[in-house]
Structure 1
Amino acid sequence: MSEDAHLIEMRDLARTFGGGRTVFGARKPQLTAVRGVSLDLAKGETLGIVGESGCGKSTLARMLVGLDRPTAGGIRLDGEDLSSSGTKALARRVQYVFQDPVSSLNPRQTIREILEAPMRHLLGLGRAEREARLAKLIEDVNLRPEFLERYPHEFSGGQAQRIGIARALAAEPDVVVLDEPVSALDVSVQAQVLNLLDRLKRERGLTYVFISHDLAVVESIATRVAVMYFGEIVETAPARAMFKAPLHPYTKLLIDSAPVPNRKRGTLGGDSGELPDPYDPPPGCPFAARCPRVEADCRETMPPLETKNRGENHRAACFHPLTWP
C-alpha cells in the first residue's frame, strides 16, 4: 500500500484518563485506554478493529470522529490534522454510527429534524436542497417517506439503526466509523443492516472503520483487520490472511473462542483470563501472563508491531509468533 493511498493516518495515538494530583497533593490514579497506536486507513477499504471489551476499540473510534481528544499523537485526514483542527470541513468528512440505535437519537426531535441537522450545520444547505436530499437519503436506507414525521421511540432497533446510518450519510462523509453497529440487533436484522452497509459503500464510495467484538461479522465485511489488546494494536493483516493463519497468539485465541460456522475450533492452550489491571500495567507484553508461547524477553519489553516474513501487509507485535505450514 503506497503512502499516497492513505486517507487517514494515526501516529502514536494515546488517550489517558485521570492522573494529576488532588488539592492535598495525593496522586490520582491514571488509566491509559489507548497506547501509542499507529495505523493507516486506505480509501475504499473496510478496516475491522476487533478485541475484547475494555481493549480500547471504542476510545479509538471516538478519537477518530472528534468525540474525544488524544492525549498524545495525532490523526491526519488527507494530510490535514484531524485531532486538533475542529473545522466543519474536516468534521463532516468523518461520521459516526453508534452502537445503541435508539438512545443515540434525540427523542424530542422528529426524524426529519435529526437528518436535516447535518445538512444545515455542516453542509449549509437551504430548505429546497435539504428536502431533495432527504427524499433520496430515506430511500437509500430502505425507509418510507412518512417516517420523517415520526419520533425515534416509534421505531424498532433495526429501523432506528437505519436512521442512524442515514444521519451519518446526511453530511456526505468520506469515512464512516461504525461502533458495534449490529450488536444490539437480532441476527436476521443484522444481516439486513450489513447488506445495506455493503451496498451504500459501493454506491457512495465510502471508507469504513468497523469496530466489533464479533469476529464472524468482521470476517464477512472487513477487507483488513486490526486486533487490539490492552490499548495497543498487536496484529494487522488482510482479513483473509488474518483468519486463515494468525501470527499473534492473542488473535488465535480470539478466533478459536468465536463460534464461526464451518470452522473447526482449535486449541492454543495458555490462560484465557482477563485483561491486565489498567491502573497497574505490567512491563513487557501485556498478553504475556496469558500466552502459551511466553519467554523471558516477553516479560521485559513490549514487542514492536512489525512484519513477520508474510509481506508488509501482515504485521504482528510478538517476539515468538505462530508458525503455519
Structure 2
Amino acid sequence: MSAAAPLIEIRELARTFGGGRTIFGTKKPQLTAVRGVSIDLVQGETLGIVGESGCGKSTLARMLVGLDRPTSGEIRLSGEDLSASGTKALARRVQYVFQDPVSSLNPRQTIREILEAPMRHLLGLGRAEREARLAKLIDDVNLRPEFLERYPHEFSGGQAQRIGIARALAAEPDVVVLDEPVSALDVSVQAQVLNLLDRLKRERGLTYVFISHDLAVVESVATRVAVMYFGAVVEEALARAMFRAPLHPYTKLLIDSAPVPNRKRERLAGDTGELPDPYDPPPGCPFAARCPRVEADCREAMPPLEAKERGEGHRAACFYPLAA
C-alpha cells in the first residue's frame, strides 16, 4: 500500500440481497454480492477494479457513491464515516459516471438543466456564477456552448458520455467513480474519452475509481488494481506489478484470457468458466473449483487477503500463490 494517508478507507464492506422469511415462515434465499472488502484509496491515484460479470464490482461502486447502502462494514472519506453523512454531503464529494451515457441523462431536461442541477442543489450557486461555471465546464469536456440548449437524444454516445462526465464534475467532487465508462463506446471514441479523463484528473487533482472488465483499458489508466472474484478482492497491487507478475491464479487467468492478436487463447484444464452458485456459496476459496493449484485446505477455509513477498503492497488471497 502507498505510504500516503488514504482518502477513502473501506473496511469489511458487505452487501447482501434477499434473506429473511416469508409471511408463512419459510426462509427466503439470500445473495451476498460483496463479501468483506477492505481496501484504501489514496488521493490522486486511479484505482482500477476488475473482474468477471457478477463479481460485485458495480455493487461496490454504487455503495461508494451512496446509491446503495452496505449491509455491514464502513466507508470512510477523509476519516468521516460516509454512512453517517447526509446524502448531500456525500454527493458533493463523490460523484458517479454511469456505463450507459444516454440512458443516464434525463430525456426531459436540456443539457443546461442537467449540468446546473448539481451546482444549484449541492453547491448553492446563484444564476450568474452557474452561468460562468457552465461555460468553463462545457469547454473542459470539449463540447460546444450551443449544446446546452439541446436534449440528450440529440447526441452520440461519445458526446453523451462527455456530458455525463461534465455532470459529475459540476459538483466539484474529490472522487469520481467511473463504472465501465467506455464499454458502450466505439473504440476510437473510447481513446478520446480516456484521454479526456486523464487530462481532467491532472488539471483538477481528481481521484478515480475505475470499474471495468477490459484489462487493456485498466492497464492503460490505473495506477493500482484490485481484482474481484465472487464478491471479494482476491489480489491488489500496483498496476505494473499486477500485469507483469500476478500472484493469484484467477488474475493470471484474466490476463491470459484477454484477446491478443496472433495468440491462441487456451482454457485451463478443468476450468468450466462458471462462477459458484451465489445462493449456495462453497466453503473455502470460491475459485477452488477452477484453480489448477488447488489443494485440500483451499476447499476448507477462505485464504486471507495479505501481503506477499513482492513489496509495494502486493496482496493476494491465496494459500499457494504463483511464483515470482
**Structure 1 length normalisation: TM-score?**
0.96
What is the CA–CA distance in structure 2 between the aligned matches of 1:89 and 1:35, rounded to whole Å? 26
Q: CA deviation at 1:312?
A: 4.9
Identify which range, 100-109 or 256-265, moves more after superposition.
Answer: 256-265
The residue matched to 1:61 in structure 2 has which SS? Answer: helix
How has the CA–CA distance of structure 1 residues 209 and 263 changed in structure 2, closer, same or farther, with 3 Å as cutoff? farther
Q: Which runs of 5+ in 1 are unaligned?
A: none
Q: CA deviation at 1:273?
A: 1.7
Tell me whether 1:166 sits opposite 2:162 in the alignment: no
CA deviation vs aligned residue, 1:91-130 (integer Å, no higher than 9, x gap)? 2110000000000000000000000000000000000000
Q: CA deviation at 1:23?
A: 0.3
The residue matched to 1:92 in structure 2 has which SS? Answer: helix
Aligned to 2:29: 29
Contact 1:63 1:83 in 2 (8 A): no
How has the CA–CA distance of structure 1 residues 79 and 118 changed in structure 2, closer, same or farther, with 3 Å as cutoff? same
The residue matched to 1:193 in structure 2 has which SS? Answer: helix
Q: CA deviation at 1:267?
A: 6.8
The residue matched to 1:271 in structure 2 has which SS? Answer: coil
CA deviation vs aligned residue, 1:293-313 (integer Å, no higher than 9, x gap)? 000000000000011101151
What is the CA–CA distance in structure 2 between the aligned matches of 1:237 and 1:249, rounded to whole Å? 14
Contact 2:99 2:183 in 1 (8 A): yes
The residue matched to 1:200 in structure 2 has which SS? Answer: helix
What is the CA–CA distance in structure 2 between the aligned matches of 1:309 and 1:239, rounded to whole Å? 17
What is the CA–CA distance in structure 2 between the aligned matches of 1:175 and 1:73, rounded to whole Å? 20
The residue matched to 1:101 in structure 2 has which SS? Answer: coil
What is the CA–CA distance in structure 2 between the aligned matches of 1:6 and 1:294, rounded to whole Å? 34
CA deviation vs aligned residue, 1:24-63 (integer Å, no higher than 9, x gap)? 0000000000000001000000000000000000000000
**Structure 2 length normalisation: TM-score?**
0.96
The residue matched to 1:210 in structure 2 has which SS? Answer: strand
What is the CA–CA distance in structure 1 between the aligned matches of 2:2 and 2:241, rounded to whole Å? 20
Q: CA deviation at 1:86?
A: 2.1
What is the CA–CA distance in structure 2 between the aligned matches of 1:236 and 1:53, rounded to whole Å? 18
What is the CA–CA distance in structure 1 between the aligned matches of 2:206 and 2:250, rounded to whole Å? 30
What is the CA–CA distance in structure 2 between the aligned matches of 1:22 and 1:155, rounded to whole Å? 46
What is the CA–CA distance in structure 2 between the aligned matches of 1:203 and 1:273, rounded to whole Å? 42
The residue matched to 1:33 in structure 2 has which SS? Answer: strand
Report percent identity of matched pairs.
90
Aligned to 1:11: 11
CA deviation vs aligned residue, 1:69-88 (integer Å, no higher than 9, x gap)? 00000000000011231242
Report the aligned-residue RMSD.
Answer: 1.5
What is the CA–CA distance in structure 1 between the aligned matches of 2:63 and 2:149, rounded to whole Å? 33
How has the CA–CA distance of structure 1 residues 264 and 48 changed in structure 2, closer, same or farther, with 3 Å as cutoff? farther
CA deviation vs aligned residue, 1:122-168 (integer Å, no higher than 9, x gap)? 00000000000000000000000000000000000000000000000
Contact 1:216 1:260 in 2 (8 A): no
What is the CA–CA distance in structure 2 between the aligned matches of 1:269 and 1:319, rounded to whole Å? 20
Contact 1:102 1:152 in 2 (8 A): yes
Question: What is the count of residue pairs matched by the alignment?
Answer: 322
What is the CA–CA distance in structure 2 between the aligned matches of 1:260 and 1:172, rounded to whole Å? 39
Contact 1:256 1:267 in 2 (8 A): no
How has the CA–CA distance of structure 1 residues 21 and 90 changed in structure 2, closer, same or farther, with 3 Å as cutoff? same
Contact 2:2 2:42 in 1 (8 A): no
The residue matched to 2:60 in structure 1 has which SS? Answer: helix
How has the CA–CA distance of structure 1 residues 267 and 17 changed in structure 2, closer, same or farther, with 3 Å as cutoff? closer
Q: Which runs of 5+ in 2 are unaligned?
A: none
The residue matched to 1:161 in structure 2 has which SS? Answer: helix
Identify which range, 30-39 or 257-266, moves more after superposition.
Answer: 257-266
What is the CA–CA distance in structure 2 between the aligned matches of 1:202 and 1:312, rounded to whole Å? 23
CA deviation vs aligned residue, 1:210-246 (integer Å, no higher than 9, x gap)? 0000000000000000000000000000000000100
The residue matched to 1:320 in structure 2 has which SS? Answer: coil
How has the CA–CA distance of structure 1 residues 36 and 29 changed in structure 2, closer, same or farther, with 3 Å as cutoff? same
How has the CA–CA distance of structure 1 residues 88 and 219 changed in structure 2, closer, same or farther, with 3 Å as cutoff? same
What is the CA–CA distance in structure 1 between the aligned matches of 2:233 and 2:262, rounded to whole Å? 28
